[in-house]
Amino acid sequence: LPLIEKADEGRIVIVSAKLHDKVDHLVLGTIDDEKAFAPLDAYNKSKLANIMHARELTRRLRAMGNKTVTANSLHPGVFPSELLRHLGPLKYKIITTIGAYTIMKTERDGAQTSLFLALSPKVKGLSGFYFSDCALAEEESHVARDDLACKQLYDYSLKAVGLE
Protein backbone atom coordinates (compact mmCIF):
# COMPACT_ATOMS: atom_id res chain seq x y z
CA LEU A 1 0.00 0.00 0.00
CA PRO A 2 2.78 2.54 0.64
CA LEU A 3 3.87 2.41 -3.01
CA ILE A 4 0.30 2.66 -4.24
CA GLU A 5 -0.53 5.64 -2.05
CA LYS A 6 2.51 7.50 -3.44
CA ALA A 7 1.51 6.91 -7.06
CA ASP A 8 0.45 9.90 -9.15
CA GLU A 9 -2.20 7.84 -10.89
CA GLY A 10 -3.14 4.21 -11.20
CA ARG A 11 -5.98 1.78 -11.67
CA ILE A 12 -6.48 -1.39 -9.69
CA VAL A 13 -8.85 -3.78 -11.47
CA ILE A 14 -10.22 -6.66 -9.39
CA VAL A 15 -12.13 -9.50 -11.06
CA SER A 16 -15.19 -10.62 -9.16
CA ALA A 17 -18.32 -12.40 -10.40
CA LYS A 18 -22.09 -12.20 -10.29
CA LEU A 19 -22.15 -15.25 -8.03
CA HIS A 20 -20.98 -13.03 -5.16
CA ASP A 21 -24.66 -12.30 -4.58
CA LYS A 22 -25.23 -15.90 -3.42
CA VAL A 23 -23.41 -15.08 -0.15
CA ASP A 24 -25.63 -13.58 2.52
CA HIS A 25 -22.91 -13.17 5.17
CA LEU A 26 -19.23 -13.77 5.84
CA VAL A 27 -18.01 -15.28 9.10
CA LEU A 28 -14.36 -14.26 9.20
CA GLY A 29 -13.31 -16.90 11.71
CA THR A 30 -14.46 -19.71 9.41
CA ILE A 31 -13.20 -18.43 6.05
CA ASP A 32 -10.33 -20.91 5.96
CA ASP A 33 -12.11 -23.83 7.64
CA GLU A 34 -11.05 -26.87 5.60
CA LYS A 35 -13.76 -29.09 7.09
CA ALA A 36 -16.54 -26.83 5.84
CA PHE A 37 -14.94 -26.23 2.44
CA ALA A 38 -17.28 -26.37 -0.55
CA PRO A 39 -15.73 -25.30 -3.89
CA LEU A 40 -18.62 -23.24 -5.26
CA ASP A 41 -19.32 -21.59 -1.90
CA ALA A 42 -15.63 -20.71 -1.54
CA TYR A 43 -15.64 -19.24 -5.05
CA ASN A 44 -18.72 -17.12 -4.29
CA LYS A 45 -17.19 -15.86 -1.04
CA SER A 46 -13.91 -15.00 -2.74
CA LYS A 47 -15.75 -12.95 -5.36
CA LEU A 48 -17.69 -11.10 -2.67
CA ALA A 49 -14.39 -10.45 -0.87
CA ASN A 50 -12.97 -8.97 -4.08
CA ILE A 51 -15.77 -6.39 -4.27
CA MET A 52 -15.39 -5.59 -0.59
CA HIS A 53 -11.63 -5.22 -0.98
CA ALA A 54 -12.03 -2.67 -3.80
CA ARG A 55 -14.45 -0.64 -1.69
CA GLU A 56 -12.26 -0.65 1.42
CA LEU A 57 -9.06 0.02 -0.52
CA THR A 58 -10.77 3.04 -2.06
CA ARG A 59 -11.82 4.27 1.37
CA ARG A 60 -8.28 3.90 2.74
CA LEU A 61 -6.64 5.58 -0.23
CA ARG A 62 -9.02 8.53 0.00
CA ALA A 63 -8.42 8.78 3.76
CA MET A 64 -4.67 9.06 3.02
CA GLY A 65 -5.38 11.86 0.57
CA ASN A 66 -4.83 9.86 -2.63
CA LYS A 67 -7.59 10.73 -5.07
CA THR A 68 -5.90 9.52 -8.27
CA VAL A 69 -5.46 5.78 -7.70
CA THR A 70 -8.69 3.89 -8.29
CA ALA A 71 -9.80 0.38 -7.31
CA ASN A 72 -12.83 -1.17 -8.97
CA SER A 73 -14.25 -4.67 -9.26
CA LEU A 74 -16.09 -6.32 -12.11
CA HIS A 75 -18.13 -9.24 -13.34
CA PRO A 76 -16.52 -10.45 -16.59
CA GLY A 77 -19.51 -12.49 -17.66
CA VAL A 78 -19.97 -16.24 -17.81
CA PHE A 79 -17.70 -18.39 -19.93
CA PRO A 80 -16.40 -21.94 -19.78
CA SER A 81 -13.92 -22.30 -16.93
CA GLU A 82 -12.49 -24.79 -14.48
CA LEU A 83 -15.07 -23.70 -11.91
CA LEU A 84 -17.76 -25.51 -13.86
CA ARG A 85 -16.07 -28.88 -13.27
CA HIS A 86 -17.47 -28.84 -9.71
CA LEU A 87 -21.00 -29.09 -11.09
CA GLY A 88 -20.56 -32.67 -12.24
CA PRO A 89 -20.38 -34.01 -15.81
CA LEU A 90 -24.10 -33.82 -16.68
CA LYS A 91 -24.64 -30.25 -15.43
CA TYR A 92 -21.33 -29.22 -17.01
CA LYS A 93 -22.43 -30.57 -20.40
CA ILE A 94 -25.87 -28.93 -20.19
CA ILE A 95 -24.52 -25.55 -19.09
CA THR A 96 -21.70 -25.41 -21.60
CA THR A 97 -23.91 -26.59 -24.46
CA ILE A 98 -26.96 -24.42 -23.82
CA GLY A 99 -24.96 -21.61 -22.25
CA ALA A 100 -22.71 -21.32 -25.30
CA TYR A 101 -25.74 -20.16 -27.26
CA THR A 102 -27.45 -18.08 -24.59
CA ILE A 103 -25.46 -16.51 -21.74
CA MET A 104 -21.83 -17.49 -22.17
CA LYS A 105 -19.21 -15.12 -23.49
CA THR A 106 -15.97 -15.83 -25.25
CA GLU A 107 -12.78 -15.17 -23.32
CA ARG A 108 -12.24 -12.11 -25.52
CA ASP A 109 -15.68 -10.73 -24.67
CA GLY A 110 -15.13 -11.55 -21.00
CA ALA A 111 -11.97 -9.43 -20.97
CA GLN A 112 -13.69 -6.27 -22.21
CA THR A 113 -14.80 -4.89 -18.84
CA SER A 114 -11.33 -5.45 -17.37
CA LEU A 115 -9.82 -3.56 -20.29
CA PHE A 116 -12.46 -0.84 -19.99
CA LEU A 117 -11.61 -0.28 -16.32
CA ALA A 118 -7.87 -0.29 -16.98
CA LEU A 119 -7.87 1.97 -20.03
CA SER A 120 -11.04 3.99 -20.61
CA PRO A 121 -11.07 7.72 -19.86
CA LYS A 122 -14.79 7.29 -19.06
CA VAL A 123 -13.96 5.78 -15.65
CA LYS A 124 -11.07 8.04 -14.69
CA GLY A 125 -11.52 8.96 -11.04
CA LEU A 126 -14.32 6.44 -10.37
CA SER A 127 -13.35 4.13 -7.53
CA GLY A 128 -14.90 1.54 -5.25
CA PHE A 129 -17.51 0.51 -7.77
CA TYR A 130 -18.67 -2.77 -9.31
CA PHE A 131 -18.95 -3.02 -13.11
CA SER A 132 -20.43 -5.44 -15.63
CA ASP A 133 -20.55 -5.18 -19.43
CA CYS A 134 -18.44 -1.99 -19.36
CA ALA A 135 -20.96 -0.16 -17.17
CA LEU A 136 -21.66 0.46 -13.51
CA ALA A 137 -23.61 -2.46 -12.06
CA GLU A 138 -25.67 -2.74 -8.93
CA GLU A 139 -23.94 -4.69 -6.17
CA GLU A 140 -26.53 -7.34 -5.46
CA SER A 141 -25.17 -8.37 -2.08
CA HIS A 142 -26.01 -6.26 0.95
CA VAL A 143 -22.74 -7.52 2.46
CA ALA A 144 -20.77 -5.84 -0.35
CA ARG A 145 -22.39 -2.51 0.59
CA ASP A 146 -21.67 -2.88 4.31
CA ASP A 147 -18.77 -0.50 5.02
CA LEU A 148 -18.05 -2.02 8.44
CA ALA A 149 -17.95 -5.55 6.99
CA CYS A 150 -15.58 -4.33 4.24
CA LYS A 151 -13.26 -2.82 6.85
CA GLN A 152 -13.36 -5.95 9.02
CA LEU A 153 -12.56 -8.21 6.06
CA TYR A 154 -9.68 -5.96 4.97
CA ASP A 155 -8.22 -5.93 8.51
CA TYR A 156 -8.67 -9.71 8.80
CA SER A 157 -6.89 -10.17 5.45
CA LEU A 158 -3.93 -8.04 6.57
CA LYS A 159 -3.52 -10.19 9.67
CA ALA A 160 -4.00 -13.45 7.75
CA VAL A 161 -1.11 -12.67 5.39
CA GLY A 162 1.14 -11.25 8.10
CA LEU A 163 0.99 -7.58 7.13
CA GLU A 164 -0.38 -6.47 10.47
Q: Read off the pLDDT of residues 39-81 as tens digits, 9 standing for 90 and up.
A: 788 888 889 999 999 999 999 999 999 999 999 999 998 776 6
- Reported as a single tens digit per residue, the pLDDT across 70-83 is 999 999 987 766 66
Helix axes 147-160 and 39-63, enclosed angle (nearest 10): 100
Catalytic residue flag (residue 43): yes
pTM: 0.86
Which pLDDT score, from 0 to 100, does residue 149 have? 94
- Per-residue pLDDT at 38 exceeds 90: no
pLDDT band at 89 (very low <50, low <70, confident <90, very high): confident
Residue 70: what pLDDT?
A: 97
- Which domains does the chain possess? 2-76+111-158 (3.40.50.720)
Kindly name the residue from 43, 92, 101, 154 that is annotated as catalytic. 43
Residue 112: the pLDDT is 95
pLDDT at position 32: 79
Do residues 19 and 43 touch, judged by C-beta distance below 8 A? yes
* pLDDT computed for residue 136 by the predictor: 95
Percent of the chain with pLDDT over 70: 88
